[in-house]
A and B are shown apart, each in its own frame.
Chain A
Amino acid sequence: MFESMAFDSVSEFLQMGKYTFHVWSVYALFAVFLTVNLYLPLARRRQFIREQQRRALRDSQANQSPDGDDGRSDANGGSE
Chain B
Amino acid sequence: MWQWFFRLGSPKWFYELSGRWLPWLYVAMTVLLSVGVIWALLFVPQDYQQGDTIRIMYVHVPVASISLACFPLMAVAGVITLVWKMKLADMVAMCAAPIGAWFTAVALATGAIWGQPIWGTWWAWDARLTSMLIQFFLLIGVIALRSAIESQDAAARACALLSIVGAINVPIIKYSVEWWNTLHQPASNFAMDNESPFGPEIWVPLVIMIFAVYLFFVISLILSTRNEILVRERRSQWVVDLIAAQKPQGA
**Chain A residues proximal to chain B, CB less than 8 Å:** 1-2, 4-7, 13, 16-19, 22-23, 25-27, 29-30, 33-34, 36-38, 40-42, 44-50, 52-53, 56, 74, 77, 80
**Distance of A80 Cα from B150 Cα, bound (Å):** 8
Q: Report the minimal beta-carbon distance from B206 to chain A, rounded to whole angstroms.
A: 13
Do the beta carbons of A50 and B59 come within 8 Å of each other? Answer: no
What does DSSP make chain B's interface, helix, strand, loop or mixed? Answer: helix
Do the beta carbons of B113 and A1 come within 8 Å of each other? Answer: no
Do the beta carbons of B243 and A1 come within 8 Å of each other? Answer: no
**Distance of A13 Cα from B235 Cα, bound (Å):** 55
Q: Which residues of B contact A25 (CB under 8 A)?
A: 113
Do the beta carbons of A53 and B249 come within 8 Å of each other? Answer: yes
The A-contacting residues of B in range 227-247, CB under 8 angstroms, are: 227, 230-231, 234-235, 240, 243-244, 246
Q: Report the minimal beta-carbon distance from A57 to chain B, rounded to whole angstroms.
A: 9
**Distance of A49 Cα from B224 Cα, bound (Å):** 14
Do the beta carbons of A26 and B114 come within 8 Å of each other? Answer: yes
The A-contacting residues of B in range 185-240, CB under 8 angstroms, are: 200-201, 204, 216, 219-220, 223-224, 226-227, 230-231, 234-235, 240
Q: Report the minimal beta-carbon distance from B88 to chain A, rounded to whole angstroms.
A: 16
Q: Does B181 contact A (CB under 8 A)?
A: no
Q: Which residues of B contact A19 (CB under 8 A)?
A: 51-53, 117
Interface extent on B, as a size class?
35 or more
**Chain B residues proximal to chain A, CB less than 8 Å:** 33, 37, 41-46, 51-53, 55-56, 59-60, 63, 99, 102, 106, 109-110, 113-114, 116-117, 151-153, 200-201, 204, 216, 219-220, 223-224, 226-227, 230-231, 234-235, 240, 243-244, 246, 248-250
**Distance of A37 Cα from B114 Cα, bound (Å):** 23
Question: What is the chain A residue whose CB lies nearest that of B115?
Answer: A22
Contact of B219 among A4, A17, A22, A38 (CB under 8 A): A38
Q: Which residues of B contact A18 (CB under 8 A)?
A: 51
Would you mind naming 23 contact pairs between A and B with Cβ atoms under 8 Å apart?
Answer: A1-B201, A1-B204, A5-B43, A16-B55, A17-B51, A23-B55, A26-B55, A26-B56, A26-B113, A26-B114, A27-B37, A29-B106, A34-B216, A37-B102, A38-B216, A38-B219, A44-B227, A45-B230, A49-B230, A49-B243, A49-B246, A50-B249, A52-B243
Q: Which residues of B contact A53 (CB under 8 A)?
A: 243-244, 246, 248-249
Q: Which residues of A contact B53 (CB under 8 A)?
A: 19, 22-23
Known: A5-B42, A27-B41, A48-B231. 7 other contacts (CB 8 A): A23-B52, A29-B110, A37-B220, A47-B249, A49-B243, A56-B240, A56-B243
Do the beta carbons of A52 and B234 come within 8 Å of each other? Answer: yes
Do the beta carbons of B43 and A6 come within 8 Å of each other? Answer: yes
**Distance of A75 Cα from B101 Cα, bound (Å):** 32
Question: What is the chain A residue whose CB lies nearest that of B216?
Answer: A34
Do the beta carbons of A22 and B116 come within 8 Å of each other? Answer: yes
**Distance of A33 Cα from B60 Cα, bound (Å):** 12
Question: What is the chain A residue whose CB lies nearest that of B55?
Answer: A23
Q: Which residues of A contact B250 (CB under 8 A)?
A: 50
